[in-house]
Amino acid sequence: MKTSPTHINYRDLIPRQKGFVFKFEKKEEHFIHTFSEGDFLTTLGIDSTWIKGKTLFDFLPKEIAKQKNEFYEQAWRGTPVNYEGQMNGYYYIASLNPMVVNGQTVEVNGTAIDITTEKENEIKLRQMEKLSLVGELAAGIAHEIRNPLTSITGFTQIINESIQDPSLKGYLEIMLDELERINNIVSEFMFIAKPAEGFICKEINIGTLISSVLFFMKPQFNMNSVNITLDFDSSITAFCDPNQIKQVLINLLQNAVEATSTNKNIEISLKNESENYFSIKIRDYGSGISKERQKRLFEPFYTTKEKGTGLGLMVCKRIIENHHGTIYIKTQQGEGTVVTILLPKKMNN
């Protein structure tokens, strides 16, 4: 059967859920859409009745319409155009193909295909590349810094113990604090460089482990007038690397304390989730995290703090994944944050 171009069944040409087709013409300097079809339009939140007989400016935000209008211009001049776009969280690739009759464009056929999955994979891959680059850098730098740092810290402690002058002692205390900070950053780097290094698992009581972290962090809670509430199942034991899990708890509690301002309660719960899994939840009533920022939390160097490293959460994720567990964050801006760690009691390999 022969069909004229306007009678092609476009639903057969484009995978229905993955794309849409459209056409436009130029009338009095404006590009008017004459046709649109495809379920991907609905996915994007566009009703095809908004498009027919309309210009880009009628149904898109002005800035986006302007950009697309440029592509339309290019196509109208007779060159096929491909471009990538993003809308309501979806990515697509569009191509505009001018239909030229006697050297004159009479119509442009457009297609758009949903490439959201591909794009998200690409973004993940880029993040992984960034991570491995950080890893390489970290391996080099951390080892170089570790040794001199140990001797500087050691000698500073010796001087601190052997002098009497209180003002000098004050300076030395500050130096020791700052050295500890550097040391913490270097340790975080070491984790990134070789997360599996020194991975020593044993059967431990999780409640006891959390208590030892709380004891260690007590001065910090007191200094910030933070009140800790516990809801513990003290019978839970698991096979894990206690030092690494401690590191996770310290990082998370530190974030919770830093986010807290008016309501200074932090709640920690430890519960059985099933026969083989348990959860640790850390809830704060602090600043919470906006939707925009939530996407970036586990990225290396992503920090909103003047003195932050932006490595804390990433290290947590690494460690939890090494333990075959998961970590997720539920947060509401202005209301607070709950970080949940789900861990197996035994690892299968």
Ligand X SMILES: Nc1ncnc2c1ncn2[C@@H]1O[C@H](COP(=O)(O)OP(=O)(O)O)[C@@H](O)[C@H]1O
| Binding residues vs ligand X (CB under 6 A) | 251, 255-256, 259, 284, 286-289, 297, 302-305, 308-314, 337
Q: List Cβ neighbours of 194 (8 Å cut-off, separation of 6 or more).
A: 139
Per-residue contact flags (x/-) with Mg ion for residues 81 to 110, judged by CB under 5 A? ------------------------------
The closest residue (CB) to ligand X is: 312
Question: Cβ of residue 312: shortest distance to Mg ion, in angstroms?
Answer: 3
Beta carbon nearer to ligand X, 94 or 314: 314
Work out the number of other CB atoms within 10 angstroms of the CB of residue 167. 7
Q: How far is the CB of 311 from ligand X (least distance, A)?
A: 6
Tell me the closest approach of the beta carbon of residue 234 to ligand X, in angstroms.
25
Residue 286 binding partner per list Mg ion, ligand X, none, with a CB distance cut-off of 5 to 8 Å that depends on partner kind: ligand X
| Residue found under tokens 């804390």 | 312
Per DSSP bridges, beta strands 90-101 and 104-114 are antiparallel
Determine, following the binding rule CB under 5 A, whether residue 287 of this chain makes contact with Mg ion: no
Residue 331 binds Mg ion (CB under 5 A): no
How far is Cα 93 from Cα 116, in angstroms, rounded to an integer?
9
Judged by beta carbon, residue 193 or residue 313, the one nearer ligand X is: 313
- Smallest gap from Cβ 134 to ligand X, in A, equals 13
Whether residue 70 contacts residue 59, with contact meaning beta carbons closer than 8 Å, is answered with no
Phi, psi (deg, nearest 5) at residue 202: -150, 165
| Site for Mg ion, residues 248 to 267, rule: CB under 5 A | 255
CB of 224 to ligand X, least distance (A): 13
63 SS3 class: helix
- In the complex with ligand X, the residue whose CB is nearer, 199 or 302, is 302
Phi, psi of 220 (to 5 degrees): -70, -40
Q: 237 phi and psi, to 5 degrees?
A: -125, 155
Per CB under 5 A, which of residues 298..327 are in contact with Mg ion?
A: 312
Kindly state the smallest distance separating residue 255's Cβ from Mg ion, in Å: 4
Residue 336 lies near Mg ion (rule: CB under 5 A):
no
Query: How is residue 327 written in tokens?
Result: 């970590």
> Among residues 115, 116, 114, 111, which one has the least CA distance to residue 13?
111
238 contacts which partner out of ligand X, Mg ion, none, CB within 5 to 8 A by kind?
Answer: none
Q: Which is nearer to ligand X, 119 or 246 (CB)?
A: 246
The residue (of 204 and 329) whose beta carbon lies closer to Mg ion is: 329
Taking the complex as a whole, the smallest distance from the CB of residue 121 to ligand X amounts, in Å, to: 24
User: In whole angstroms, how close is the CB of 25 to ligand X at the nearest point?
Assistant: 49
**Rounded to an integer, what distance in angstroms lies between the CA atom of residue 7 and that of residue 20?**
16
Q: Taking Cα atoms as reference points, which of 316, 334, 338, 333 lies closest to residue 325?
A: 316
Indicate the residue among 158 and 182 with the shorter CB distance to ligand X: 182
Nearest to 188 by CA among 99, 251, 127: 251
CA pair distance 8, 2, nearest whole angstrom:
10
Q: Please give the helix or strand (H or E) that residue 296 lies within, else none.
A: none
**CA within 13 Å, CB half, 177:** 6
- Cβ nearer to Mg ion, comparing 308 with 344: 308
For residues 75 and 259, which CB has a smaller minimum distance to ligand X in the complex?
259
Q: From the list ligand X, Mg ion, none, which binds 41 (C-beta under 5 to 8 Å, kind-based)?
A: none
Instruction: Give the Cα-Cα-Cα angle 172, 175, 176 (nearest 5 degrees).
Output: 90
Q: For binding to Mg ion (CB under 5 A), which residues are involved? A: 255, 312
